[in-house]
Amino acid sequence: MGEKEQKKAYQEKRKRLITVTAVVILVVFIASTVMMTLLSSVYAGESAPAKDKMRGIWVSTVYALDYPESCTTDAEALMQQADEILDDAKAMGMNAVFLQVRPSSDALYDSDYYPWSRYLTGTQGVAPANGFDPLQYWVSAAHQRGMQLHAWINPYRVTRSGETEYASLAADNPAKQHPDWLVKYEGNYYYDPALPEVRELVVKGALEIVRNYDVDGIHLDDYFYPGQNFDDADSYALYGAAFDDIGDFRRDNVNQLIRMLDTQLHAADPDLSFGVSPSGIWANNTTLPEGSATRGAEHYSMYYADSVYWARAGIVDYLAPQIYWNIGYSAADYRVLAEWWSDILADTDVDLYIGMADYRSAQATSAGDVWYGTAELERQLDLNRSTDGIDGEIHFRYRLMQEDDQIPSFLAEYYGAQADDPDQSDPGVNPPEGTGNDPAGGEEPDDNQTPEENPPEQEPPAEEPSGEPETGYFADVSSDDWFSGAVQYAVENGLMNGTSETLFSPADKLSRAMLVTILYRLDGSPEAADGDFSDVESGSWYEDAVNWADENGIVNGYGDGTFGPDDDITREQMAAVLYRYAACEGYSLAASGGLAGFADASSVSAYAEKAVEWAVGSGLISGRGDGILDPAGTATRAEVAQILMNFCENIAEAA
């Protein structure tokens, strides 16, 4: 064979070898790929990691409740306090912080839409020193600790201290620039949710946060419409032609905002978590058949927030209802509500985080209080863990928890034990991309609080979550006062609120309309027929309550066709009203206390005698000292708070 033929044969042999080798490699590759796919499928079915549980904490900035310790422009102090809070939160086992960054038409970050918050530096519009941006620092510091940072905003609130605060707003505050966007409600100002310009402002403000800061989520608490008597008649006339009912109109306005936020926030950051922490009760089943077996203030009808619709429409990533009541509480049982929310969200893709009232344990001082110590918190956490569909919890609120003698160590141990339990999910939170280990006067409901509502309206998260106000928050209520515990109870359960941001006014009198409204909300604000009292004005804030009370025989009026809504209520009138309310609710009326021990027993009116005997026998009323009952004396707000607490604990909860 010549050299040419040998070379050609060699080349053909080499080509065949290469071809065979390539085929072998291809076969091996395909076989191994198939095998790996099968193995992956098998093992994925057996050991896919469980979804991470939320372990969040609300950090309130309104009134510097949690951050800062006091208003300051000192950047070093602001950084040091942020580090302290984050370290403490992580030590308690938290993996997410919900920081209130827009308390009231203001900002704790550098914003093009809202002025710097007075709760940060002391004066609205004044920035921290040296160009310090708190939100930027919080995000970075949280991520360095492997924690998420969610920006918590209040969309509609403008003031909390009335005209004085409004006058002090910075000139560039949108509320000052557009006073036509505002509605005054019970002395404070709110943006009108019906206005397209307002919705655009809220959305732009949220988008600004997402685009400028690496936050893990945008969080709204339960402040939507502040109440049912919101004066939005002009907006309803302008925009509400499609709605026969103003309640449906208001809910649609809130729905539009939630839908816009969901769409635009996720367009800006598809991985962002967007959610809301409404008050614990969507609706009672006496109002809507699908509601919960509760008797409390409903955010569906009182704040016009249809959270169930948001979940079913898929326009939120999670809901965090503020269930601020204990297991076994008759008006709003934690277990009943937790299981109800789990069932409601079961067929949705929406996560469920429970807003927990750690603050109640922190403030409990009596060993007889169900919230005393950490036993109730442990029961609730165990319930969360054993209930399908509950994806974690958010605790209200940082400083009250941290300063308690037991809560920090309890949570650290509890969450540590859960992390070591192979049946529990990993304690960490999935890190956002690019962060390495980085994984909310009178008996009217106040605000997130949302960490505040009736039975319980509740404290809003965090400020105040859903909370505030706290008893210690009122300048005129000392822990040494005989009524301190009752004021705390009445406020925490949404039965009463302060007469201002800083005062409870314990010595002030309570009107007849106010007491009836308290009971009306305690009963879930049901529908009421038109009434006949000549002095109950149509559209007044107490109209529905008085008509409801009249319809159910709880009040009778004065016999001349008048009710006297503004008259101070007397002690015997209050006993009579509570007696009739108890009868209406089916509570026991068996208790009866003799009045002979009171020097002025003969001055009890005949119509009220049986009711006063019941009130004394039930421990609701005990006299004013020196053997005096004073039935015709007017009841102070402090006395009403005490009697309401006695009624709920001795009568309602025993039923």
Strand ranges, E, within 29-128: 54-59, 96-102
- CA–centroid distance for 459 within its chain: 6
What is the signed CA dihedral for 253, 258, 259, 263, rounded to 10 degrees?
A: 140
Rounded Cα distance, 105 and 109, in Å: 12
Q: What is the DSSP letter of 188?
A: E
Q: Where are the alpha helices (DSSP H) in 586-651?
A: 609-617, 637-647
Here the tokens at position 387 are 């209930």
CB 515, CB 569: distance < 8 Å:
yes
What mean pLDDT do residues 405-417 have? 93
- Helix ranges (DSSP H) in 194-269: 196-212, 233-239, 246-268
pLDDT of residue 49: 33
Give the confidence band of 593 by pLDDT, cuts at 50, 70, 90.
confident
**636 compared with 220, residue with greater pLDDT:** 220
Collapse the DSSP code of 295 into the 3-class scheme (helix H, G, I; strand E, B; otherwise coil) and give the result: coil
Q: What is the pLDDT of residue 197?
A: 98
Nearest to 155 by CA among 286, 276, 316: 276
Rounded to 5°, the CA angle 162-163-166 comes to 95
Write out pLDDT tens, residues 4-33. Answer: 454 445 445 444 544 444 444 344 343 444
When pLDDT is cut at 50, 70 and 90, the band that residue 452 belongs to is very low
Across-strand partners of 107? 116
Alpha carbon distance 176, 196 (integer Å) = 18
* Region 333-356 average pLDDT: 97
Write out the two tokens for 438: 């980085």
Contact 401, 362 (CB under 8 A): yes
Distance CA 13, CA 3 (A): 15
> What average pLDDT does range 587-616 have in this prediction?
85
Mean pLDDT value across residues 173-202:
97
Q: How would you classify the pairing of strands 217-220 and 148-153? A: parallel
pLDDT (tens digit per residue) in 644-655: 888 888 887 666
Per-residue pLDDT tens digits for 64-74: 899 999 999 99
- Interval 95-120 mean pLDDT: 97
pLDDT at 35 over 80: no
- Confidence class for position 427, pLDDT limits 50, 70, 90: very low
pLDDT beyond 70 at 435: no
Interval 477-482 mean pLDDT: 78
Q: Is the pLDDT of residue 247 over 80?
A: yes
Task: State residue 21's pLDDT score.
Answer: 44
Closest CA to 142 of 202, 198, 59: 59
Mean pLDDT (whole number) for 312-316? 97
Mean pLDDT of 364-379: 93
Q: In what helix (H) or strand (E) does residue 415 lie, and over which residues does it extend? A: helix 407-420
Q: Which residue would you say has higher pLDDT here, 378 or 25?
A: 378
* Model confidence, pTM: 0.65
Q: Reply yes or no on whether the pLDDT at 198 is more than 60.
A: yes
Which one is predicted more confidently, 555 or 253?
253
Helical pair 375-386 and 334-345, crossing angle rounded to 10 deg:
20
CA distance 229 to 250: 12
Q: Which residue's entry shows tokens 């080349």?
A: 11
The residue that leads in pLDDT, 514 or 108, is: 108
Which tokens go with 60? 């309130």
Which letter does DSSP use for residue 526 in this model?
Answer: -
8-state DSSP, 536: S
Residue 146 backbone zone (phi > 0: left; psi -120 to 50: alpha; other: beta): left
User: What is the percent of the chain where pLDDT is above 70?
Assistant: 82
Greatest mean pLDDT among 41-50, 328-337, 454-463: 328-337
CB 327 within 8 A of CB 380: yes
In 145-245, which ranges are continuous DSSP H helix?
162-168, 174-177, 196-212, 233-239
- Cα(571)–Cα(640) distance, rounded to whole angstroms? 9
Q: Which of 286, 187, 264 is nearest to 227 (CA)?
A: 187
Among all chains, which residue has been given the structure tokens 């050299």? 3
| Phi, psi of 588, rounded to the nearest 5 degrees | -65, 135
Q: What is the pLDDT of residue 626?
A: 67
Percent of the chain whose predicted confidence (pLDDT) is above 90 = 53
